[in-house]
Amino acid sequence: MSIGSRVLVLLMSLLLLLSVAPAYADDRSFEISATDIHARIDSAGDMFVTERDTYRFDGAFNGILVDLNAAGSDGIEQFEAYEVSGEDKTPLEVEQTADGDALHYKVFSESVDTTKEFELTYTVKNVVQVYADTAELYWKFFDETNANPLGSVSIEIELPAGISKDEITAFGHGPLDGNIQTTDDGTVLFRVESLPAGRMFETRVLFPPQYVPGSGKVSEEPQRDNIVEEERNWKANDEAESSNDYTVPYAVLLLIANLGAGFWIYKRYRRPPKSEWKGDYYRELPSDASPAVVSFLLDSGIESRDLMATMLDLVRRKHVVMQKLGSPKTGKGKRDYSFKRTGKSADDLLPHEAMLLEWFIGEIGDGDKVALSEIRLSASLRTEFPQKWAAWQDKIKEAALERKLLKKNSGIYRYVLLAFFIQFFGFWFAAPSDWSWLLFCAIPLPFFKPRRYQRTREGQTEYEKWKAFDRFLRAYSRIENRDAMAVHLWDHYFVYAIPLGAAKKMIKDTKVVIRSVTDRDYSAPILYQTWAVTEFDELNKQFKDAVTESHKSDSGSSSDSGGWFSSGGGGGGGGGGRGAF
């Protein structure tokens, strides 16, 4: 054999060895496809954990690794491990080592190319922190030291007996697609579809302190509002970013057809009808519609300012008294306001007005009064606030339809959306690859979708009058004759100026005129002398913040526990991970 041939054989041999070595190193693997944890809290604040892990072994393994961390507790005791097969459980040998609070367990169970289920049980001592106004379970079941990804992870926390669903607020820290559910018997279920390696999964549950009278971790300081505010801040930092960048090609026939249909829809279902009234200014209220109905007529939408306008209209009509509080009743801030029933008969209230009083004062408040900070807290917890907000909006829409100001185009609205989805997803999934790009031709359709609510001729006429009334309020100080506004109308006009967006202008331009009238000429208006006028910006901001809090993006997570998932946290006890050896 020549020297060249020998060198070639040597090089091939080295390459073969190099290729075999990594293959041998990677000839076994495992995955943890499911982890189910049940954690029971007793009245002493101890936590009894039962965990089941499903492992899939490819290759030969001697057992599994379990890392726990006792930080934030008085220790972890009575760790035991079992191999589960049907109804049978076989105890396994366990070897424990410790490094401070970090506990490492080797669970011996020889496994070769198989799937096994393991059960782990242990007790965490004195894990519940009790404050003056809440008890708190704040525990990481997995932390950043977990080196292996996990499949679905569910953590069921069973609180002491007697706790109702409404007394629990739960938060999760980890993947943003996490889900939290609370059952009527006081059990909280946290779940994520997958937990990447190095990712924390932390639970935080608030419940009344009287259910853990034996806890050894007690503080006289109230902390519930601070905890909720901390969680709210973490949630605010988790706004997901997404963008779509399409390069829409041109497909002549389909695009022309879609554009033609779109213009016909616009002409028939979007273009407003002809008004029976025209003018520059309207110097009196165009109708007796409520401020919220007027707002919906003008913008086909309902905003937080309509809550404020409705409440202030109830103040004007003496159904409610508004007061400024010296300090916030709940949470932080410099200002707070209360709304108190006067006891006046509700016979003259519209359905959406009666519902708002019952919602704010009867449900969020104590039945007699409610503070604006209490409304904001209810909104931030998002227990029922979004549903009530939606129901209140529906009541306003019903009132507008009953007055024949608008009509509902639900049928054609659905047909346009259906046509869009059939074209877009049909070309995407069902068409041959050479034709799939035609999906972009469907993009114009949603822009031509009909208004869900379209103004009638009567509604368009009233719309024009309200717009003229808006111009009257905004131009009040510039009108040539500068007639003094009748003072007794000021309050009435003001509640409509809010949905019109002219309230601040009205406060500025009419203040001097009103104050120039002598006391014997009028009796003082109700709203004009309240904080609703002097601190209009602050009051408007607080109503807006309440609605905004209730609709902050869940970033894919969901919850019916009064809380949410975020990527914040990390301050709780516990931690650890799972593996195999």
Q: Quick one: 124 and 37 in the same domain?
A: yes
291-299 and 457-474 helices, crossing angle to 10°: 110
In-domain check, residue 262? no
Q: Does residue 289 form part of some domain? A: yes
- State the angle between helix axes of 385-402 and 536-550 in degrees (0 to 180), rounded to the nearest 10: 110
* Whether 289 and 379 share a structural domain: yes
Residue with tokens 């203040």: 511
Residue 9 is assigned to a structural domain of this protein: no
Enter the pTM of the model.
0.50
248 lies in some domain: no
CB 332 within 8 Å of CB 380: no
* Listed residue (125, 337, 134, 326) closest to 227, CA to CA: 134
* Judgement on whether residues 302 and 232 belong to the same structural domain of the protein: no
Same domain flag for 84 and 119: yes
Domain contains 389? yes
For residue 529, give its domain range: 277-409+450-534
Coil/strand/helix, residue 527: helix
* Cα 311 to Cα 319: distance, rounded to the nearest angstrom: 9
Does residue 164 lie within any of the structural domains?
yes
Q: Is residue 10 one of the residues assigned to a domain?
A: no
Q: Which two tokens stand for residue 358?
A: 């019952």
Instruction: From first to last of the 581 residues of the chain, give the pLDDT tens digit.
Output: 444 444 333 334 433 433 433 333 457 889 999 999 999 999 999 999 999 999 999 999 999 999 999 998 899 999 999 999 988 999 999 999 999 889 999 999 999 999 999 999 999 999 999 999 999 999 999 988 888 999 989 999 999 999 988 899 888 888 877 888 998 888 999 998 888 888 889 999 999 999 999 998 999 999 888 888 888 888 777 654 333 333 334 345 666 776 676 666 766 666 677 777 888 888 888 888 899 998 988 888 888 888 888 888 898 888 988 888 776 666 565 677 888 999 899 889 999 999 989 988 998 888 899 888 888 888 777 667 888 888 999 999 998 888 888 877 666 666 677 777 777 776 667 655 556 656 656 767 766 666 677 787 888 888 889 888 888 888 776 654 555 555 557 778 888 888 888 877 777 766 544 444 444 444 444 555 555 555 666 667 777 777 776 655 444 444 555 565 665 556 666 566 677 78
CB 535 within 8 A of CB 507: no
DSSP helix/strand/coil, 199: coil
The whole-number pLDDT of residue 282 equals 86
Strands 135-142 and 150-158, how do they pair? unpaired
For position 4, what pLDDT does the model report?
41
| Dihedral angle of Cα 252, 258, 263, 265, to the nearest 10 degrees | 170
Residue with tokens 């609070």: 101
The angle at the Cα of 181, spanning 179 to 187, to the nearest 5 degrees, equals 135
Task: Tell me the CA distances in angstroms from 407 to 276, 297, 454, one per residue in order.
Answer: 18, 11, 5
Q: What's the CA gap between 30 and 53, in Å, rounded?
A: 12
Inter-axis angle of helices 536-550 and 503-515, to 10 degrees?
160
Are 140 and 230 contained in the same domain? yes
pLDDT of residue 19: 40
> Could you tell me if 289 and 190 lie in one domain?
no
| pLDDT recorded at residue 160 | 92
pLDDT of residue 245: 33
Q: Is the same domain home to 80 and 197?
A: yes
Q: Report pLDDT for 2.
A: 47
As a whole number of Å, the CA-based R_g of the chain is 33
Tell me the CATH number at 201: 2.60.40
DSSP of 21-61: HHHHHTS-EEEEEEEEEEEEE-TTS-EEEEEEEEEEEEEEE
Same domain, 345 and 473: yes
| 324 vs 534: CA distance, rounded Å | 11
Is residue 393 domain-shared with residue 357, that is, in the same domain?
A: yes
Instruction: State the pLDDT at residue 108.
Output: 95
Considering the domain boundaries, does residue 542 fall inside one? no
Number of domains in the chain: 2
Both 207 and 301 in a single domain?
Answer: no
How many residues can be counted in the chain?
581
Residue 377 has a pLDDT of 83
Buried/exposed 89-101: b ≥16 CB within 10 Å, e otherwise: eeebeeeeeeeeb
Which pLDDT does position 417 carry in this prediction?
73
Same domain for 391 and 472, yes or no, is: yes
Claim to verify: residue 484 and residue 526 sit in the same structural domain: yes
* 441, two tokens: 């031709």
Ramachandran assignment for 136, one of left (phi > 0), alpha (psi -120 to 50 degrees), beta (any other)? beta
